[in-house]
Amino acid sequence: MKQLALGVKLRAAAVFASFHPGDNAEILAALRAPGTAPLWLWGAAGTGKTHLLQAVCAAAGEAAAYFPLDRRVALPPEALLGFEANRVLCVDDADAVAGDLPWERALFRLFNESAELRTRLIFAAGAAPGTPAWGLQDWRSRAASCVVYQLRELDDAGRLDALRLHAAQRGLLLPADTAEYLMRRMPRDLPSLFAVLDDLDEASLIAQRRLTVPFIREALEKSAGKPP
């Protein structure tokens, strides 16, 4: 799989099997199905956009590439050159370059050349394609021509299921009462919950203890600098 340098790596856990769809089953099916129509996936932070893009790449193997436009990566527009030759190309944080004309021209070129080569393009963003303040009308029209899907946030029951699925992917048995305890005491966005669970997994391995409510309470108090 073609990846970017500069520290951009695909997460090993970002596969379709580790994504709890909730109300997003239609989107999951669309991403897993073959096709060449460009897709635009949008939703709030923490809904799993990056996870799904990387899952598409993982499923496609060496024929796929993942390209994030997060401005913290600080790549020039020329970095996109050549990526249209991949069979599948996933462009993350597409709205991060809104108003940056060199980048919008690069996306416009990428879109046109990918269409000629029948490369499957999948974009992810925090908003629908018509919402960002694009400066290049030609690119705005291309973005608007994508098949658009909105990722829905999970409800509490869905977050609980997603948390237990994440645990199972790590080989952990997370009892329902333990998962509910975490849900009550931690931020309820999935990235935060997953990060806490990962830390607890490491702590349980070091302590050689199971993820019970008493152990989690003790570990959280220690991390907060409180006496157990």
From the candidate CATH numbers 3.40.50.300, 3.30.2310.20, 3.30.70.3150, 3.40.50.10140, the one assigned to the domain spanning 16-150: 3.40.50.300
Give the mean pLDDT of 194-212.
83
78-95 as b/e, with b when 16 or more CB fall inside 10 Å?
Answer: ebbeebbebebbbbbbbb
Give the mean pLDDT of 44-69.
92
- Identify the three-state secondary structure at position 64: strand
- Indicate the range of 6-15, 70-79, 217-226 predicted with least confidence: 6-15
pLDDT higher than 90, residue 149:
yes
154 or 143, greater pLDDT? 143
DSSP-assigned beta bridge partners for residue 121: 89
Which residue in 80, 86, 88 sits closest to 120, CA to CA? 88
Reported as a pLDDT band with limits 50, 70 and 90, residue 8 is: low
Give the mean pLDDT of 120-129.
97
CATH classification code of 156-223 = 1.10.8.60
The model's pLDDT over 87-122, given as tens digits with 9 standing for 90+, comes to 999 999 999 999 999 999 999 999 999 999 999 999
Domain range annotation of the chain? 16-150, 156-223
What whole-number distance in Å separates Cα of residue 94 and Cα of residue 122? 10
Q: Cβ of 53: how many Cβ atoms within 10 Å? A: 27
Give the mean pLDDT of 148-154.
95
CA 110, 115, 118, 124 torsion-angle sign: positive
The upper half-sphere exposure of residue 141, i.e. CA atoms within 13 Å in the direction of its Cβ, equals: 5
pLDDT higher than 70, residue 175:
yes
